[in-house]
Amino acid sequence: MTLYEQLGGEPALRAILEDFYDRVFSDVMIGYLFRGQEKARLVRLELEHTSKVLGGPHVYTGRTMQKAHAAHRILLGHFRRRNKLLEDVLEAHAVPAPVREAWLAHARALEAAVVGPVRRGAHCDQDEDRRQRA
């Protein structure tokens, strides 16, 4: 059984992603980055991408992660906040541990493509900045 099947297939994946993007769009830290974006389109693309990652039948039709995010000033703190929201949603939906772990590991692995090498050292988290300088 694939991770996609363990999750519950497309209906479960869609419900999780709709909840996730509702949280992302309304989040005080990163919601502004999504102004002007079409939520349904992002859910569709994320469904394709995540389905592929979890062994599902969908084919990803979007741009590469690097190209899709290049025009946006996404800092490491933004990226980590997005992943924290994802983690919270997966927990809220009681996603099985093997699926959750694989999904989150893949999300973390996208850091360089989404944030880019120039902004990887830029943080929104002032405490983390202080720790790195110490």
Domain extent listing, the chain: 3-133
Residue-level pLDDT at 119: 47
pLDDT of residue 24: 97
Provide, rounded to the nearest whole percent, the portion of the chain with pLDDT above 70: 79
Whole-model pTM: value is 0.83
The separation between CA 94 and the C-alpha centre of its own chain, rounded to angstroms, equals 17
Q: Is the pLDDT of residue 92 over 70?
A: yes
User: What tens digit of pLDDT does each residue of 25-75 get?
Assistant: 999 999 999 999 999 999 999 999 999 999 999 999 986 666 666 666 788
Q: Structurally, what CATH architecture does the domain formed by 3-133 represent?
A: Orthogonal Bundle (1.10)
Is a pLDDT exceeding 50 seen at residue 133? no
* pLDDT tens digits, 99-130: 999 999 999 998 888 887 654 444 444 444 44
